[in-house]
């Protein structure tokens, strides 16, 4: 192999390797949002879902859920409790999201909005282990007949993956309660009411170039009424209007009737997350179309204005001065500085002439007011087939900024398409490979695994993206997260339960590329040919002008060890030290799990450049990254 370090090619965009976040598989509520109470404001379709009352030993007690939609349309319901526990006990338990994960010695912060119409009320708040043993708690006193937020903290005495929250009503009384909430203290950056730190750390470790949010199909909704409306996800959490999650009823084999969006993670939090982890924010906005896999509901063109206004106001929310309406809200939420939005997606995975008509309306309004913002357009659900064949040329003729191509395909498809962009039209729009994952079984079957076969195929494909970084300027695996007991779609990049989390082999492939993206493409050839499949080898190379390194990625998809002699003409040093990092498994079925999270993980050792060449042996079924400081 020859790496032409003397002829650096196209610049690699700093945002090249990013992440796709969607609230699917309990990724937000029950996932990155560290709230432990499910249905905290009684707004689920069944208002008491997740809650259970219990009366013992002669106590009486009853909850009524009151609806004040006329005065509080965004959070209409609250619970009204009446009880007499002079004898026995009256309790209310919350089951959490597939249980509550509790950590020994961790501080837990409880809060509720409440008023006590008939005098002081004492509540005992406790965490229980799965066997019913109390493992921490505190007392809370509510006084006064006006709504106030009450808080109390306590420390857990044991670790428990499947705990529950128990509230015991003392004596006799009445209470109105809402937003009953419990957070661990160890949130990401210790923000009260914040995000789950272990999951965000896994994202930060990827050093992603961008964060695409909030999806996915949830941008569109099953129908327009349940589309994602960013304005309802900002401001005080109490006033964010909960809606059913698009994935609540999807897929008969994995129904999730308790899947809602509380929007505790809303657009402010997404922008803040992107900033925290050094990524460009890439929000996707609804373009007046519901999910075309479901209702195909669209807004007539002459009634698009509110949708359009949402897009324009979003840019003002992200970038506007604090003297603007939406910029002021951002400042009031704690971020006076702009979020510096440069990219905006119009519609997710839409297709057909209806999409094109709506894109044109959005693009002309956005570009007129914010010419510097680049627009990401949808190219439908598949990289081939009639939808793509119709849409792709139309989007090209409109000279859009980015076309978002999605590929959920077999490992064989990924191998075959590693050279997909080698001959792509360079003059038109740039490509955003916005959702991709190798599916080892038929799409979205439970049998689909994040196994080594899928990760290896993605790595091979990614060498093709990197080789063509002049045109493919952003890429993200999808979906990002899945709760092991709450998923609707598999495979996914990161899996978790209530306490633990792990990166799949696919995660380590993403990380290898993202942390070694370099600044310019170098051509890597076998003779005169691109390395894209011959003998099962796939390769790409980059130079990093900041660190003065040449970085080579070679994927050996064959079942044989292969020796390679890599010549690197053009490097300044004839000999230099470097590292070689290998991800491998001889078993294509191998996976990482909660109990064995590092079954497949990168292993690094030293390597040397000698006479401007490196000799190496590629293990069967492996991804090898060679890095030398030779410039």
User: What is the Cα–Cα distance from 419 to 532, expressed in whole angstroms?
Assistant: 6
**Which stretch of DSSP H or E encloses residue 452?**
helix 452-467
User: What is the Cα–Cα distance from 418 to 463, expressed in whole angstroms?
Assistant: 7
Nearer to ligand AHR, 291 or 568 (CB): 291
Catalytic annotation present for 349: yes
Least Cβ distance, residue 439 to ligand AHR (angstroms): 11
Nearer to ligand AHR, 457 or 621 (CB): 457
User: What is the Cα–Cα distance from 478 to 460, expressed in whole angstroms?
Assistant: 17
Nearer to ligand AHR, 435 or 458 (CB): 435
Least Cβ distance, residue 591 to ligand AHR (angstroms): 20
Least Cβ distance, residue 168 to ligand AHR (angstroms): 41
For 542-590, the three-class secondary structure string (H helix, E strand, C coil) is EEECCCCEEEEEEEECCCCCEEEEEECCCCCCCEEEEEEEEEECCCCCC
From residue 482 to residue 521, the character string flagging contacts with ligand AHR as x (rule: CB under 6 A) and all else as - is -------x--------------------------------
C-alpha distances in Å from residue 548, one per residue of 5, 164, 627: 11, 54, 10
User: What is the Cα–Cα distance from 10 to 16, expressed in whole angstroms?
Assistant: 13
DSSP labels, 265-315:
S-HHHHHHHHHHTT-EEEEEE--SB--TTTT--B--GGG-HHHHHHHHHHH
Least Cβ distance, residue 293 to ligand AHR (angstroms): 7
Nearer to ligand AHR, 137 or 381 (CB): 381
**Under a CB-based contact definition with an 8 Å cutoff, are residues 460 and 415 in contact?**
yes
User: What is the Cα–Cα distance from 43 to 24, expressed in whole angstroms?
Assistant: 19
Sequence-distant (≥ 6) Cβ neighbours of residue 377 within 8 angstroms = 345, 346, 347, 359, 395, 400, 401, 402, 403, 404, 429
Residue nearest to ligand AHR (CB): 216
Binding-site size, ligand AHR (CB under 6 A): 12
From residue 184 to residue 223, the character string flagging contacts with ligand AHR as x (rule: CB under 6 A) and all else as - is -------------------------------xxx------
Using the rule CB under 6 A, which residue among 102, 242, 478, 566 binds ligand AHR?
Answer: 478
User: What is the Cα–Cα distance from 515 to 17, expressed in whole angstroms?
Assistant: 9
Looking at 160, 269, 280, 349, which residue is catalytic? 349
User: What is the Cα–Cα distance from 613 to 550, expressed in whole angstroms?
Assistant: 12
Identify the three-state secondary structure at position 403. strand
Nearer to ligand AHR, 217 or 256 (CB): 217
Least Cβ distance, residue 264 to ligand AHR (angstroms): 20
CA angle at residue 367 from 365 to 368, to 5 degrees? 65
Give residue 94's Cα distance to chain centre.
26
What phi and psi, each to the nearest 5 degrees, are found at residue 536?
75, 15
Least Cβ distance, residue 22 to ligand AHR (angstroms): 5
Nearer to ligand AHR, 24 or 156 (CB): 24
Using the rule CB under 6 A, which residue among 214, 288, 411, 479 binds ligand AHR?
Answer: 479
Using the rule CB under 6 A, which residue among 22, 280, 310, 316 binds ligand AHR?
Answer: 22
Nearer to ligand AHR, 116 or 431 (CB): 431
Nearer to ligand AHR, 108 or 487 (CB): 487
Least Cβ distance, residue 436 to ligand AHR (angstroms): 10
User: What is the Cα–Cα distance from 512 to 498, expressed in whole angstroms?
Assistant: 27
Nearer to ligand AHR, 165 or 265 (CB): 265
381 binds ligand AHR (CB under 6 A): yes
> How many helices (DSSP H) and strands (DSSP E) are in the chain?
10, 35
- Residues in 135-164 at the binding interface with ligand AHR, rule: CB under 6 A: none
Least Cβ distance, residue 134 to ligand AHR (angstroms): 40
For 321-372, the three-class secondary structure string (H helix, E strand, C coil) is CCCCHHHHHHHHCCCCCCCCCCEEEECCCCCHHHHHHHHHHHHHHHHHHCCC
- Residues in 415-454 at the binding interface with ligand AHR, rule: CB under 6 A: 435
- Residues in 216-275 at the binding interface with ligand AHR, rule: CB under 6 A: 216-217
Nearer to ligand AHR, 473 or 490 (CB): 490
- Residues in 303-362 at the binding interface with ligand AHR, rule: CB under 6 A: 348-349
Least Cβ distance, residue 99 to ligand AHR (angstroms): 25
Least Cβ distance, residue 247 to ligand AHR (angstroms): 8
Q: What is the crossing angle of helices 352-369 and 386-397, to 10°?
A: 30
Residue ranges binding ligand AHR (CB under 6 A): 22, 24, 215-217, 348-349, 381, 435, 478-479, 489
Could you list the active site residues? 349
């Amino acid at each position: 192999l020859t790496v032409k370090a003397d002829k650096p090619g196209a610049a690699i965009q700093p945002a090249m390797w990013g992440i796709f976040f969607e609230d699917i598989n309990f990724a937000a509520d029950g996932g990155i949002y560290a709230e432990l109470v499910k249905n905290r404001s009684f707004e689920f379709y069944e208002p008491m879902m997740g809650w259970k009352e219990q009366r013992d030993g002669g106590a009486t007690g009853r909850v009524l859920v009151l609806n004040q939609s006329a005065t509080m349309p965004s959070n209409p319901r609250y619970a009204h409790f009446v009880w007499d526990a002079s004898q026995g006990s009256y309790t209310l338990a919350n089951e959490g999201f597939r249980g509550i994960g509790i950590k020994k010695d961790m501080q837990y912060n409880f809060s509720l909005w409440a008023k006590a119409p008939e005098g002081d009320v004492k509540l005992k708040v406790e965490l229980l282990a799965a066997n019913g043993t109390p493992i921490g708690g505190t007392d809370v006193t509510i006084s006064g007949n006006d709504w106030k937020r009450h808080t109390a903290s306590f420390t857990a005495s044991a670790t428990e993956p499947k705990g529950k929250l128990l509230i015991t009503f003392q004596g006799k009384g009445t209470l109105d309660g809402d937003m009953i909430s419990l957070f661990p203290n160890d949130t990401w950056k210790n923000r009260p009411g914040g995000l789950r730190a272990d999951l965000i750390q896994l994202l930060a470790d990827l050093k992603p170039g961008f964060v695409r949010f909030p999806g996915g199909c949830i941008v569109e909704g099953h129908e327009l009424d349940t589309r994602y409306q960013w304005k309802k996800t900002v401001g005080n959490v109490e006033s964010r209007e909960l809606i059913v999650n698009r994935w609540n009823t999807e897929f008969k084999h994995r129904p999730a009737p308790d899947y809602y969006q509380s929007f505790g993670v809303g657009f402010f939090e997404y922008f803040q997350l992107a900033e925290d982890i050094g990524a460009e924010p890439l929000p996707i906005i609804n373009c007046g179309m519901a999910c075309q896999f479901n209702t195909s509901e669209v807004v007539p063109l002459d009634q698009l204005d509110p949708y359009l206004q949402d897009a324009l106001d979003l840019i003002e929310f992200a970038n506007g001065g604090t003297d603007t309406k939406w910029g002021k809200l951002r400042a009031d939420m704690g971020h006076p500085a702009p979020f510096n939005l440069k990219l905006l997606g119009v519609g997710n995975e839409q297709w057909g002439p209806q999409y094109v008509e709506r894109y044109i309306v959005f693009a002309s309004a956005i570009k007129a007011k914010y010419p510097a913002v680049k627009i990401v357009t949808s190219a439908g659900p598949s990289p081939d087939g009639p939808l793509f064949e119709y849409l792709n040329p139309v989007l090209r003729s409109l000279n859009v900024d980015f076309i978002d191509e999605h590929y959920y395909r077999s490992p064989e498809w990924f191998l075959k398409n590693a050279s997909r962009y080698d001959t792509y039209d360079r003059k038109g729009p740039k490509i955003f490979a916005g959702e991709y994952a190798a599916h080892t079984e038929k799409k979205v079957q439970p049998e689909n695994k994040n196994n080594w076969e899928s990760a290896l195929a993605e790595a091979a494909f990614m060498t093709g993206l990197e080789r063509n970084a002049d045109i493919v300027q952003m890429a993200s695996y999808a979906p990002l997260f899945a709760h092991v007991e709450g998923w609707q779609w598999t495979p996914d990049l990161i899996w978790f339960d209530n306490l633990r989390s792990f990166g799949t082999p696919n995660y380590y492939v993403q990380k290898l590329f993202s942390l070694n993206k370099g600044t310019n493409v170098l051509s890597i050839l076998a003779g005169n040919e691109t390395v894209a499949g011959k003998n099962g080898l796939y390769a790409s190379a980059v130079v990093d002008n900041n660190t003065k390194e040449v970085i080579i990625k070679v994927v050996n998809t064959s079942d044989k060890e292969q020796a390679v002699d890599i010549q690197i003409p053009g490097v300044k040093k004839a000999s230099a030290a470097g590292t070689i990092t290998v991800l491998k498994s001889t078993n294509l079925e191998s996976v990482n799990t909660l109990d064995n999270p590092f079954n497949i993980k990168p292993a690094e050792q030293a390597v040397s450049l000698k006479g401007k060449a490196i000799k190496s042996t590629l293990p069967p079924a492996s991804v090898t990254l060679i890095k030398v400081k030779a410039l």
